[in-house]
């Protein structure tokens, strides 16, 4: 007899859109945004950590309380760049949005399960039911788009700084 309640792999999230909230952007524009983000990060992002200019500003503040967030699908090999809210793929959690902190702790607003965001798998309208993990490149593209959303909040900005300065703490493996 199998116990289908315990699954020894990453928890899964999926995205849900409200049609008015979908935004379409061309692949070229996505790439320009990602390239701009990547060059800014390499030019400025790790100065605090690598060159000893002081403590990470986000770490100084401490981890934020969890908030709802909008982000394009961060899964590897996904070209969906429309931001949406995320939901835990668990029967009791389908109405509760996922929550994130400034240090990348992703938790379900329903059941409360919590892991670093890099440890979750994602499925969106482009690859429904096929859950994929994210890597640093797919994260960078999604974060670049999130930072360009109108009304971007401070926690999203702090999350960007934290992941840039502490990729291993976020869950990315060293190369």
Nearest to 147 by CA among 87, 56, 51, 72: 72
Report pLDDT for 68: 92
Q: Residue 118 and residue 120: Cα distance in Å, rounded?
A: 6
Residue 18: pLDDT band with limits 50, 70, 90: very low
Q: What token pair was written down for 170?
A: 């976020």
3-state SS, residue 48: helix
Burial letters 21-32, b for 16+ CB under 10 A, else e: eeeeeeeeebee
Report pLDDT for 31: 56
Spacing of C-alpha 145 from chain mean position: 11
Report pLDDT for 56: 78
Instruction: Tell me the pLDDT tens digit for each residue of 115-166.
Output: 999 999 999 999 988 999 999 999 999 999 999 888 888 999 999 999 998 9
End-to-end, the C-alpha distance of the chain in Å comes to 40
CA distances from 104 to 31, 60, 75, 91 (A): 24, 15, 15, 24
Global pTM value: 0.67
Q: Quick one: angle between helices 27-40 and 136-147, nearest 10?
A: 100
Strands (E), 26-174: 67-68, 85-88, 98-100, 105-108, 114-116, 121-123
Q: Residue 76 and residue 131: Cα distance in Å, rounded?
A: 10
Taking the CA atoms of residue 69, residue 170, residue 37 and residue 127 in that order, the dihedral angle to the nearest 10 degrees is -60
Mean pLDDT value of segment 5-15: 55
């Amino acid at each position: 007899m199998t116990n289908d309640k315990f699954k020894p792999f990453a928890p899964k999230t999926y995205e849900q859109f409200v049609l008015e909230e979908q935004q379409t952007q061309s692949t070229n524009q996505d790439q320009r945004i990602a390239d701009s983000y990547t060059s800014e990060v390499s030019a400025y992002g790790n100065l605090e950590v690598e060159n000893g200019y002081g403590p990470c500003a986000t770490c100084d503040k401490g981890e934020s309380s969890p908030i709802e967030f909008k982000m394009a699908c961060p899964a590897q090999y996904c070209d969906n760049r429309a931001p949406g809210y995320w939901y835990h793929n668990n029967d009791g959690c389908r109405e509760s949005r996922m929550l994130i902190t400034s240090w990348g702790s992703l938790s379900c607003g329903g059941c409360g399960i919590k892991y670093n965001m890099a440890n979750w798998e994602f499925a969106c309208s482009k690859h429904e039911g096929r859950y994929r993990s994210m890597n640093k490149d797919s994260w960078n593209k999604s974060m670049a788009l999130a930072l360009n959303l109108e009304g971007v909040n401070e926690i999203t900005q702090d999350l960007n700084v934290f992941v840039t300065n502490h990729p291993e703490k976020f869950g990315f493996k060293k190369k």
